[in-house]
Structure 1
Amino acid sequence: MNKQQALLSFPKGTIINATIRLTGSKSESNRALIIAALSKGLIEVDNLSDAADTVTLNEILQRLAKDPSAASPIDVGHAGTAMRFLTAYLSTLDGTFELTGSKRMKERPIKLLVEALWTLGATISYLEENGYPPLQIKGGLKQATDAVQIRGDVSSQYLSALLMIGSSLEKGLSLQIIDDLTSEPYVRMTLKMLEEAGIKHTWTQNVIKIEHQDFSAGRLVVEPDWSAASYWYSIAALVPGAQIALPNLKEYSLQGDSRIQQLMLALGVKTTRTDDGVLLQSISTSEQHAAGLGAQEVQSSATAASSSNDPAASSGSNGTQNDLSTHTNLLEDESGIIAGEAPIMEIPASSSLHQDQVHRNQDDSIIDLKDCPDLAQTIIVCAAARGLNLKFTGLETLKIKETNRVKALQNELAKIGVELLEDNFVYTLNCSNLHFPERVNIKTYDDHRMAMAFAPLSIFIPQLEIEDMDVVEKSYPDFWKDLQTAGFEVVTK
């Protein structure tokens, strides 16, 4: 089947003053669906994402609720979160299930999660290659122990999958995290949503404990998606004078990707809280100076608690919140992401970029994306378009995502003369040969974030082709329509 392409252009002189209503958070939605299923009807969910991954997971869970014996085989397609969450969830159900996915899904490792579930007493076998889907899962987990260890530096979704079933296990769960914890905000999100559903936990040093306990009746309201918001930050950073309103988006959010606010502040985008959401505004270099901005090191790994891995401190969460519609300002004290000050550097006269918006340091800045790797493509492409030779760390998980995102970025950035160089887990942009051809074709590699991260380059490239425009259905189905709302021209080929 031929894939549809999007031909993008951005008319010269266009002023962006747009209101964009974003879908619900995919990350929150997928967790809310599993929590609701585990609660056996006690928890209801509002404002679910319309992302394909969430739709897929919801349909699977509805089939399982209706007749578990008829639900297998279960095909998650490209939905990696569904694969990981269902691997744990199905272990708690009665029945035998085959869990499979797309060709790429069968190349994405799941060994660490399966081994952790084996330790707990689950019966899971590999149907093809060891360590990879598809899986056969025999439910009715007979718990052997509550104690399990798992590496934290591979995928936070492994931890979230285990944590969500913890309260349903007869002996509860004592989860010890080995090595550094990647994407920590997503683990915090899981625990906070469990807390809002009545499930208490403690987090002491590197051990999270959840006792066997019942869910409380209530409602989980999913916030709009900060991951989707990140593409609008990129656009605001590249278009002088842009103003983009994002209704219902919470400045302080459970979502780790809300850190785009601080990361993009150093790239010239100011976030202002409004009565019904947030407003993005591109700001000039002089305005950045006036605000005291400048970042020798931009770190997204700052946390609210200086000595504890848990926002509620090591003593754990106390009490149960029955008003499930209101998220605590979990990241409220995590605004110190941009540290230090540095002088503004001038862009070379030959650059076609907007000089008054470029803000960078004499020493290359470092952006640590360990806690929000899904922002990597957006920020890297935006920085490349601005000609900023930034350094990035915390990208280790990108190679096991929908595609090898590091290689995909290297391939596509080369089309505008930019190199992404890798040296001992530090990735550096070399923009010395940056140029914008009249026409560029961007491959997506079946990766929704590749399509959306590169789309803003149409601001500089008169004819930008995005292969397989339908790939955005995975997380942001209205992306192309919303681009048109903001003044971009989108032609389907």
Structure 2
Amino acid sequence: MTYTITAPEQINTTIKLPASKSISNRALIIHAIAKGKIIPQNLSNCDDTEVIINALKNMPEVIDIKAAGTAMRFTTAYLATKVGEEHIITGTERMKHRPIAILVDALRYLGAEIEYTGEEGFPPLRIKGKKLEGGHLEVPGNISSQFISALLMIGPVLENGLELKLTGDIISRPYIDLTLWTMREFGAEADWTDVDTVTIKPTPYQDREYLIENDWSAASYWYEILALSNDTNSCIKLEGLMDGSKQGDSVLRYIFSLLGIKTTFASKQQGKPTTVTLKKHKCMLPRLDYDFTGSPDLAQTFVVCCCEMGIPFKFTGLATLKIKETDRIEALKNELKKLGFVIHDENNNTLFWDGERCTPTNQPIETYEDHRMALAFAPTAFHHQGLEINHPEVVSKSYPQYWEDLEKAGFIINKK
């Protein structure tokens, strides 16, 4: 399937964002560990959350989490604690090539029974659940935060709790903090006890009513839309976001303020979702340098946006992009070249653009089975008439109603 996208001359719309996938997935795993009866409210309806819901509800012998990396990591740790149960967890072909050895080794160290049913170090996994002792564990701090979060969330049900020391550089710390915050919302005693150590006491989770905030990652594409729009009077309102959000990607509002997008909250009451108003101002920024170590999922949004705004950049902290749904560094280089931009990478963790251009090919944008490629490239329709995107259905992984929301905002989408 291919969509051809035409952008409107002006935007004045109110969008109800999808619920946070990150919080939904954490709350669901915690709810399952707690054997809770009260389902969290405002759960995300994206693919990644749906596979966790289905897995936890049905608990089949073979659990297929498809392309959901978060679900693979979180559910693996959860299954390791399910005393007396045995399951195989698997996914798509791409998932079978995404490394998981660091998490498996850590769980085995805690006493888990896990074996590889295919290639060593990669899913599928056969997991025999048992009571785990817990205690002291060390893992590298530069691995995916999802590995770390998976270990943290089972901490309260380990006999001796968990003392997790992160060695070396710690990346994606905001996602670790989001996990700890969500755990504490359900009664866990979990916090940093040193600059590199998290301590979790063996205190059971408490079942409770819980409302999930909407998704700041999804908001990033609307900020990008306003930044690339040609009308200075355009205005976008986004529902269900919080001032002081614990979502790491909420940092985007500060970065976009440098690109001329002002954020106003209807209410600043802590812990209460409200409506955010975005307005466009003139951007005078000559270039943007930023370290995305704490929020790598925003990289595609800002790489594409800065190119289209003609703002040179150097973005570091992108090491995890090579092992996401696709190699996002190569994907960005390939697809931006189609739009006339030549970007470069170095050290497997940096992307930069010095203003170098090439002749646009105007070929359709490929999405590489990666939702964020489609989400981040759609706003470039403001600058590229007749923009085409292949396999647009990939947005279901995190933002299923994206195309409908674009149409609501005045975009014209022709489907073939």
1:431 is aligned to 355
Contact 1:440 1:461 (8 Å CA) reproduced: no
1:365 deviation in Å?
A: 3.1
Counterpart CA distance in 1 for 2:397 and 2:132 is: 35
Give the partner amino acid of 1:51: C
2:285 is aligned to 360
Q: Kindly tell me: are residues 254 and 435 of structure 1, through their superposed partners in 2, closer, same or farther at Cα, counting changes over 3 Å?
A: farther
Counterpart CA distance in 1 for 2:364 and 2:58 is: 40
2:53 is aligned to 58
2:29 is aligned to 34
Contact 1:230 1:375 (8 Å CA) reproduced: yes
* Aligned mate of 1:248, from 231, 236, 240: 240
Contact 1:440 1:463 (8 Å CA) reproduced: no
1:436 deviation in Å?
A: 5.9
Q: Deviations over 1:424-450 (max 9, x none)?
A: 34321133326666x441000000000
Counterpart CA distance in 2 for 1:42 and 1:211 is: 23
1:124 deviation in Å?
A: 0.6
Counterpart CA distance in 1 for 2:74 and 2:332 is: 28
Q: Where do 1:174-323 residues align within 5 Å?
A: 174-203=163-192, 204-239=194-229, 240-241=231-232, 242-275=234-267, 276-284=274-282
1:8 is aligned to 5
Counterpart CA distance in 2 for 1:282 and 1:161 is: 39
Q: Deviations over 1:193-220 (max 9, x none)?
A: 1111000123122111111112223122
Note if 1:162 corresponds to 2:151. yes
Long gaps (5+) in structure 2: 268-273
1:141 deviation in Å?
A: 3.6
Q: Deviations over 1:440-473 (max 9, x none)?
A: 4100000000001000111111111110111001
Give the partner amino acid of 1:188: D
Q: Deviations over 1:136-157 (max 9, x none)?
A: 11111442x4111111212000
Counterpart CA distance in 2 for 1:159 and 1:208 is: 10
1:344 is aligned to none
Contact 1:233 1:264 (8 Å CA) reproduced: yes
Contact 2:342 2:358 (8 Å CA) reproduced: no
1:486 deviation in Å?
A: 1.1
Counterpart CA distance in 2 for 1:380 and 1:390 is: 8
SS across alignment from 1:177: strand
Structure 2 length normalisation: TM-score? 0.95
Q: Kindly tell me: are residues 43 and 112 of structure 1, through their superposed partners in 2, closer, same or farther at Cα, counting changes over 3 Å?
A: farther
Q: Deviations over 1:367-386 (max 9, x none)?
A: 11110100000110000101
Give the partner amino acid of 2:352: T
Contact 1:151 1:179 (8 Å CA) reproduced: yes
Counterpart CA distance in 1 for 2:238 and 2:278 is: 8
Counterpart CA distance in 1 for 2:257 and 2:360 is: 25
SS across alignment from 1:20: strand
SS across alignment from 1:175: strand
Counterpart CA distance in 2 for 1:489 and 1:219 is: 40
Q: Where do 1:448-467 residues align within 5 Å?
A: 448-467=371-390
Q: How many matched pairs?
A: 405
Query: Which of structure 1's runs of 4+ aligned residues deviate more than 4 A?
Result: 434-437
Q: Deviations over 1:250-305 (max 9, x none)?
A: 12211111111001111111111114311111112xxxxxxxxxxxxxxxxxxxxx
Note if 1:377 corresponds to 2:377. no
Structure 1 length normalisation: TM-score? 0.80
Contact 2:138 2:167 (8 Å CA) reproduced: yes
1:490 is aligned to 413
1:67 is aligned to none
Counterpart CA distance in 2 for 1:125 and 1:184 is: 29
Q: Deviations over 1:12-34 (max 9, x none)?
A: xx211110101100000000100
The structure with the larger Rg is 1
Counterpart CA distance in 2 for 1:423 and 1:47 is: 40
Counterpart CA distance in 2 for 1:43 and 1:207 is: 32
Give the partner amino acid of 1:360: L
Long gaps (5+) in structure 1: 65-70, 285-356
Residue identity (%): 44
1:91 is aligned to 80
Counterpart CA distance in 2 for 1:102 and 1:168 is: 30
Give the partner amino acid of 2:281: I
Q: Where do 1:407-446 residues align within 5 Å?
A: 407-424=330-347, 425-433=349-357, 439-446=362-369
CA RMSD of aligned residues (A): 1.4
Give the partner amino acid of 1:86: T
Note if 1:447 corresponds to 2:370. yes
Contact 2:180 2:191 (8 Å CA) reproduced: no
